Chain A
Amino acid sequence: MIFNTLDSFLLLSGVEVGKHYYWELAGITFHGQVFIVSLFVIFLLLVLSLLGTSNIKTVPEGLQNLMEYVTEFTAGIAKDQMGESGYKPWVSFVGTLFLFILGCNWAGALIPWKLIELPEGELAAPTNDINTTVALALITSFAYFYAGINKKGLGYFKRYLEPTPVLLPINILEDFTKPLSLSFRLFGNILADELTVSVLVMLVPLFIPLPIMVLGVFASSIQALIFSTLAAAYIGEALEGH
């Protein structure tokens, strides 16, 4: 996507939207800043889960306590949406979505990336790039198609004719609006949060932006919860028999 910028706006606010640190690999252009931060988040999650499960005791203590809580919480998201039977295989998918999005959002909000200078663009939450959120939403789409077809075979497509065949176009349209709304919701929320903070910082550099930042941290955790809840709900909808 080529971003043409209104120069005066950018100069005024010091906000960098649509400027990327491009990597060229095998003729394909990547947004480097997104990769750096998301690899950092993946690394962090891996280290935490390895440390939390390396020395398992019957009576949990320390990090194992935290990891057990996290596992129960993410399993709860899946269970609430898919019901008691058949939620188990999807716990890892929903949990990964939740933890990765939460990690991305909080990595953008809590870590002072501005201290690291990039040649172009800036390090921020990976989810403020629409490519990341569209990728996550498309994975979710494929996941619920897979879930439905895996469970019911081609009979899965019968649900397009329910409750009446008249609704066929609407039902097909729904498959396109689901990833669209999932990706736009996450992208818009995170980008809006970062823009609000940077505009406020431009106006008043000290103290005043703090409550908005706290609100941003809270809102981004809610967004992670919503994304994974919706993903679980879509998969549950595909799994349930009519």
Chain B
Amino acid sequence: MSGGGEPSRAIEAVWRIESARLIAALARMTGDVSLAEDLAQDALVAALERWPESGVPENPGAWLMATAKNRAIDLARRGKRFEDRREQLAREAGMRMAMDAAEHEAALGAELGEDILGLIFTSCHPLLSTEARVALTLRLLGGLSTEEIARAFLVSEPTVAQRIVRAKRTLKEAHAPFEAPQGEQLDERLPSVLEVIYLVFNEGYAATAGESWMRLDLCEEALRLGRVLAGLAPKQPEVHGLVALMEIQASRAAARTGSSGEPVLLLDQNRARWDPLLVRRGLAALERAEKLSRGAFGPYTVQAAIAACHARARSAEETDWARIAALYDALAQLTPSPVVELNRAVAVSMAFGPEGGLELVEALTAEGSLEGYHLLHSVRADLLAKLGRSAEAREEFERAAAMTENTRERELLLQRAHIVAS
């Protein structure tokens, strides 16, 4: 490759594409993710020094790998800890053999996927905090710099750097093996990986539009990671479920904000602005998830199925609320939470009338865990209004208005309080 802007940006692009494979392969050779990343970074520094002069080599991935391996052998050779010359030579020879064996396997092509899978599961190791897992995943698998991660998550660069250093130390101290878990272990550890990917997605998705393209980029990166994982663990229904959920949610990105940046709720969105390509991809991923689930859907697949009900409806009125209510019922059993229950109440009221919905909302109110959550009160107000209990509805709209921090939402709720009273 030549031409096309600044050389450092071209090298950055190569890095984004190659870094995960590079680190994954080096981690398997050395058994040490931290060392693997250092070696890969050294290779990147060498590229930044040399490529602007020499041009980007024909096979930049192979160049980076060769450079990183030489560096690894160099380090083994200079290892100060080995005072015995023979031990030092043995270590160096061992490193060479490991490298040669790895190269041979890589040439066969089969190992690469396993390496990447190993890197994903190591980055999302259950020993690590969620924040550390997110930072490590974006760093090792997304090729993002510490600065980019910090910008995306609105935290300081040293904070992110700290998280990564600590995470690597934790992995090292626990002697966490670098490998993809198999069988039951895989089922056990998969949710931790899916959680990280969905968290990255939501971090980008929850950001208001136009704030910074970097944050929207997070959604794309999460989707990319999800698709990579789906390719590596194609028999896992929940991976496809998560991909489906993200593709369908991402399809609504352009419709989620109005012209002055205000949030537009799902049922008010202009469906013509939903991205049909992502909808199609999402529905296809959901179909894969459903086939593999054999009736026992996991939580991501259920959420994707709910999203799909909306995606399939050409207008808000055509929404299959009975199915959504049934799916929320299933979700409430898989992952019980008051917020899921509130959503179920809305779906039930849309499908079968406000009485059933209100019953569920009253139960939630009595239970008290959503106390102070404005949506609980605005949903209750809405149901009361539909049942003609105007005075109570008005009071409840006003209560909800007092609880929201969003000015625009407050105006809307007060307006509804006014309308229901008149």
The judgment on whether A and B are partners is no
Interface of B with A (CB < 8 Å)?
Answer: none
